[in-house]
Structure 1
Amino acid sequence: MSNLKSLLLSCFLLLTFAAQGFSQQAKSLLWKISGNGITEPSYLYGTIHIICEKDFLLSNPVEESFKKTSQIYLEIDMDDPNMMADMQRYMNMPNDQNLQSVLKPEDYRTVGSFFKDSLGVNIDLFKNTKPLLLYSFVLIKMMDGCSTKSYEQTFVEMAKAQKKEVKGLETIPQQMSFIDQIPLDKQAEDLVKSINSYAKYKEYFNKMIAAYKNQDIEGLQKLSDDPEFGTSENENEALIYSRNKNWIELIKNIAAKQSTFFAVGAGHLAGESGVINLLRKQGYTVEAVN
């Protein structure tokens, strides 16, 4: 059970991966932040929070940039001993709601059958879990049982080896509050749709992975604009844009004090409201590193 809870946490982070519009930018996931009074540059890296081990790649520029910095900031502090306890406190629906109350009977059976037949999991174990978190299990199924690896966990291990502190831009309660901005019935609707159209969603997901591996931000943008699969403007605001705005002041203050390696989901880098553009608007020079 604890392993499943841990998987949910990793997969929730994956939900923020889908990149937003990023017009005519270099193909890169690593960006150098300088200027505007910074004495030593910081670095910004776009992750996918979980990926097949065979597709995992940590380039020399990423490793060198990591070594140059004094501390690491992830979306959340992944080495916080209280992380899993916080996750378990906030993963359930409010007011004693459950899947049977937010899904039609036939849709509940569809979800239950998928979890049992495809994942070997009894849906009753997660009957109170927010549907958007359960969607992450569908993503894991799309990875065809491959051995997975996490960029965030890798960075935590690298930080420990280099005796650097790991911190977070957000807390688990904050992250869960963003999910709560999406109505439960909409979360449930999206979950059922991903199962009923599994083959199409898997094809789309594989294209996203391929674009990520190619560091093709513009390609990710085109995929995210697909009306059948892309997230709505309200969902983007809850899961991406509002968080980006919150992070900018934090990044400014952190980078002003010491050189920092920031690693956040690739979906947060891109577009008019992406972290890169927002930093540039604040007067920083943000350059691709290849």
Structure 2
Amino acid sequence: MIRRCLWRSRSRAYLTPRSSQFLLTTRPINPARRYRRRPNNAVNGQDGAPAPVLGGVAGMARRVKSTLLGAALGAFGLIGAAAAEPAMWVVKDSDSTLYLFGTVHILRPQTTWRTPAFEAAFKAAEEVWFEIDLASASDQNKIRSLAPLFIDPSKPLSQKLDAAQLARVRAVATKLGLPAANLEALRPWFVAISLIGPSLQTLGLDPESGIENVLSKEIGARSARALETIDQQFGFFASMSEAEEIGFLMESIEGIEEGAAELDRLINAWARGDDGELVTILNQEMREQFPKVYDTLILKRNLAWVEQIKTEMAKSGVDFIAVGAGHLVGEDGVPALLRKAGLSVTQVQPKP
């Protein structure tokens, strides 16, 4: 859920950076409800390599280009938006309520996005879910254990890219103050992710102002949950073919080169909760041009989340799920898939 992963950035992988999970509850948690805790997972940089920004893999490659933009949603505040009303849905049955809120991983500190409907939903939740748990983001040992998924010592980056591609990647790295040599052993997908964070910083974005980070500090004693593990998210990217990885990298590079060119459109679409516009910006191109990548990073993950939500709905209580906005829109979005599965789903904001 996006994706959708911090510029969810021009690369559609973000629409949220450090994913965390939290809950604020004004009523006692139902002791009869069963809760399963998942291990904390985090994303951190490998020694000698740029630290990647993964907030939910999901975003990271939607239309790859928009992936980068996705994360930047809200980067410059809500331009042209009189009143922010990011999309939120509620799933209900006789004894369970579950809210779905579309997020962006990075925002400017002054951005206003909270609404009375959001506050009420978040406050009522007994459990808060995010794409992944980044509480152990400083766990270098964990990231090192995943090195085989993002490091390829047998074939350096310079042998995978053609001269023009390599020149563009190196130019971006140099502009961001990153030694090109540090990228040589990294797989293309990881190079893309490693460049996104620094790119966002040059735009003045603050990960700490991202929705997940803000909410994680407000959970209090409530239960925090994750839909995926960092192992799974790395695995999604690592499952791409070399050609797909290179395509993902170059789309991300294009997004970085264009900078804020498309941000206004994206930001306003998220702020308005404009389902159709977000589908066009974040998912449509990736689905058409990179169908296998779309299937891996968006559809399959959404379907897996639907199964987890169905399990939660079989219990009782109130849950709040905050994931990249790109995972919640369109016919392949989680709300639509839940309806197809027979669950009652209503859009809370904006009113349809």
- TM-score for both structures, normalised by structure 2: 0.68
In the comparison of the two structures, how many residue pairs are matched? 279
Q: Are the structure 2 counterparts of residues 283 and 225 from structure 1 closer, same or farther at C-alpha, using a change threshold of 3 Å? A: closer
* 1:15 aligned onto 2:56: no
In structure 1, how many angstroms separate the alpha carbons of the residues matched to 2:61 and 2:111? 19
Does the 8 Å contact 2:150/2:238 carry over to 1? no
Determine which of 290, 312, 316 is the counterpart of 1:254.
312
* 1:266 aligned onto 2:311: no
- Please report how far the alpha carbon of residue 143 of structure 1 lies from its aligned counterpart in structure 2 after TM superposition: 6.5
Match of 1:69 in 2: 125
Does the 8 Å contact 2:286/2:294 carry over to 1? no
Match of 1:157 in 2: 217
Return the letter of the residue paired with 1:157: K
In structure 1, how many angstroms separate the alpha carbons of the residues matched to 2:245 and 2:287? 14
Q: Are the structure 2 counterparts of residues 120 and 101 from structure 1 closer, same or farther at C-alpha, using a change threshold of 3 Å? A: same
Runs of 4+ displaced beyond 6 Å: none
Provide the secondary structure at the position in 2 that maps to 1:76.
coil
- Please report how far the alpha carbon of residue 188 of structure 1 lies from its aligned counterpart in structure 2 after TM superposition: 2.0
In structure 1, how many angstroms separate the alpha carbons of the residues matched to 2:110 and 2:198? 15
Q: Are the structure 2 counterparts of residues 97 and 48 from structure 1 closer, same or farther at C-alpha, using a change threshold of 3 Å? A: farther
- Please report how far the alpha carbon of residue 175 of structure 1 lies from its aligned counterpart in structure 2 after TM superposition: 1.1
Match runs of 1:189-268 below 5 Å? 189-195=247-253, 200=258, 202-224=260-282, 227=285, 232-257=290-315, 258-268=317-327
Q: Structure 1: state its 5+ residue gaps.
A: 20-26
Q: Are the structure 2 counterparts of residues 59 and 242 from structure 1 closer, same or farther at C-alpha, using a change threshold of 3 Å? A: same
Provide the secondary structure at the position in 2 that maps to 1:45.
strand
Determine which of 156, 177, 184 is the counterpart of 1:127.
184
Provide the secondary structure at the position in 1 that maps to 2:99.
strand
Determine which of 145, 169, 174 is the counterpart of 2:227.
169
Return the letter of the residue paired with 1:171: T
Structure with greater helix percent: 1
Does the 8 Å contact 2:121/2:320 carry over to 1? yes
In structure 2, how many angstroms separate the alpha carbons of the residues matched to 1:237 and 1:181? 12
Using the TM superposition, name which of 173-182 and 221-230 deviates more: 221-230
Percent identity, aligned pairs only, is 23
In structure 2, how many angstroms separate the alpha carbons of the residues matched to 1:278 and 1:196? 32
Does the 8 Å contact 1:70/1:164 carry over to 2? yes
Return the letter of the residue paired with 1:131: P
- TM-score for both structures, normalised by structure 1: 0.81
Using the TM superposition, name which of 138-147 and 163-172 deviates more: 138-147
Provide the secondary structure at the position in 2 that maps to 1:121.
coil
